[in-house]
């Protein structure tokens, strides 16, 4: 599993936005920026929709005030689902939605999880991280079934 001090792997994301889908590589998202990245097991799932994404939406200004250039969300969902979820959650062009449809990023970071027993297949673990110029400076991975250390509130507290 990726750890603090490691550089993020080079993968491609499909990114929905108000002007349609665009392809972005890891470097396009993280190079030269400080990014608060959080991952959810799935768009439109209960905790992800009711608590996780809304926590970041509600605290966007605080992240910006603490030097965060971009807040980004990743999930193992296709860009159509991520785009629809962004519209549903009112975060289009506010939170960068990084579609990891084939779980390439999740697997390359070692943050993938098998949700087959729930009928969901390969997914991402729930986590949050701070990435500075492509290098992980903080990483907070949830235990299975938990929602604590990946919240916006927890991550903001770690930023001081």
In this structure, how many other beta carbons lie within 10 angstroms of the beta carbon of residue 68?
A: 21
Active site residues: 48
The distance of Cα 75 from the centroid of its chain, to the nearest Å, equals: 7
Closest CA to 114 of 105, 104, 124, 102: 124
Q: Are 56 and 38 in contact (CB under 8 A)?
A: yes
Q: Partners of 13 in the beta sheet?
A: 24
CA pair distance 89, 77, nearest whole angstrom: 16
CA pair distance 110, 120, nearest whole angstrom: 18
């Amino acid at each position: 599993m990726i750890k603090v001090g490691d550089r993020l792997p080079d993968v491609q994301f499909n990114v929905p936005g108000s002007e349609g889908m665009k392809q972005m590589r890891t470097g396009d998202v993280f190079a030269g920026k400080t990014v608060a990245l959080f991952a959810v097991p799935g768009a439109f799932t209960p905790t992800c929709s009711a608590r996780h994404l809304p926590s970041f939406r509600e605290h966007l200004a605080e992240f910006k005030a603490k030097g965060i250039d971009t807040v980004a969300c990743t999930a193992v969902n296709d860009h159509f689902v991520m785009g629809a979820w962004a519209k549903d959650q009112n975060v289009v062009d506010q939170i960068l939605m990084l579609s990891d449809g084939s779980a390439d990023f999740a697997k390359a970071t070692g943050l993938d999880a098998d949700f087959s027993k729930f009928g969901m297949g390969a997914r991402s673990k729930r986590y949050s991280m701070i990435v500075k110029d492509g290098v992980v400076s903080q990483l907070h991975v949830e235990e299975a079934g938990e929602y604590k250390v990946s919240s916006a509130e927890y991550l903001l507290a770690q930023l001081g």
